[in-house]
């Protein structure tokens, strides 16, 4: 395993459900906040709001994409609202912090969320000041992963050599453009995740927990 990663100089991490698990209940809250925003914006009921939320997500990659394209919604106000969630279940992760800090090279967050929210999550996990940069949905021009142009923008703006980069992500389909650019791809598979079958050629390594995976890398390096 050690030799497999010796050429990596940039470690790119997704945020949600990658640097914490489903048990934190963050994404369920965000989905409900999105539906609540839609409900208030259109003055409709909860069931219809969830249907719109899901339909725009399927069509545009995010509900925000649909609301911007079809209703000129302000992305900043929208994201401020939907990210107003309770993070009390997020706990500091000192081992994760230590393992990420020991990785040689640059460490970057690549997320479909916005930077202020990402900073709150990182602070709750005790991972503040660990990452060099947060490449967020605004810097993607609101074209979320897996839009290939956003991966190009990430590499261009941050001067990343994709062939020497590694991307850790919980959504298997988001690894497809990364692999096409030459990145090493790590899929964080959760029990209820079933979208890997169509994307196996784009997954170099499958893990269930980032901390455990990094501890294994660390152990190999110490033993070498």
How many residues make up the chain in this entry? 224
Q: What is the pLDDT of residues 110-160, one digit of tens each?
A: 999 999 999 999 999 999 999 999 999 999 999 999 999 999 999 999 999
- Separation of alpha carbons 79 and 76, rounded Å: 5
pTM equals 0.92
The domains found in the chain, sorted by start residue, are 2-21+91-223 (3.40.50.1000), 26-82 (1.10.150.450)
Residues 6+ positions from 191 with CB-CB distance below 8 Å = none
Q: What is the pLDDT of residues 80-98, one digit of tens each?
A: 999 999 999 999 999 999 9
Question: Residue 170 corresponds to which tokens in the numbers above?
Answer: 């919980």
**pLDDT(224) > 60:** no
Is residue 222 pLDDT above 90, yes or no?
Answer: no
Q: How far apart are CA 21 and CA 24, in angstroms?
A: 6
């Amino acid at each position: 395993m050690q030799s497999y990663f010796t050429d990596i100089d940039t470690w790119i991490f997704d945020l949600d459900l990658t640097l914490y698990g489903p048990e934190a209940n963050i994404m369920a809250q965000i989905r409900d906040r999105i539906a609540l925003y839609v409900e208030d914006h259109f003055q409709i009921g909860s069931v219809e709001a969830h249907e719109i939320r899901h339909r725009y997500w399927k069509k545009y990659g995010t509900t925000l994409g649909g609301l911007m394209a079809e209703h000129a919604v302000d992305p900043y106000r929208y994201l401020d609202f939907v990210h107003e969630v309770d993070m009390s279940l997020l706990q500091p992760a000192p081992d994760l912090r230590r393992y990420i800090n020991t990785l040689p090279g640059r460490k970057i967050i690549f997320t479909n969320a916005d930077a202020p929210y990402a900073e709150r999550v990182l602070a709750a996990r005790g991972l503040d000041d660990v990452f060099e940069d947060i490449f967020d949905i605004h810097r993607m021009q609101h074209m979320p992963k897996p839009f290939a142009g956003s991966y190009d923008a990430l590499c261009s703006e941050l001067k990343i050599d994709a062939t020497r980069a590694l991307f850790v992500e919980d959504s298997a389909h988001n690894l497809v453009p990364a692999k096409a650019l030459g990145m090493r791809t790590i899929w964080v598979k959760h029990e209820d995740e079933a979208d890997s079958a169509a994307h196996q050629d784009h997954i170099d390594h499958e893990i269930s927990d980032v901390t455990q995976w990094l501890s294994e890398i660390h152990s190999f390096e110490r033993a070498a």
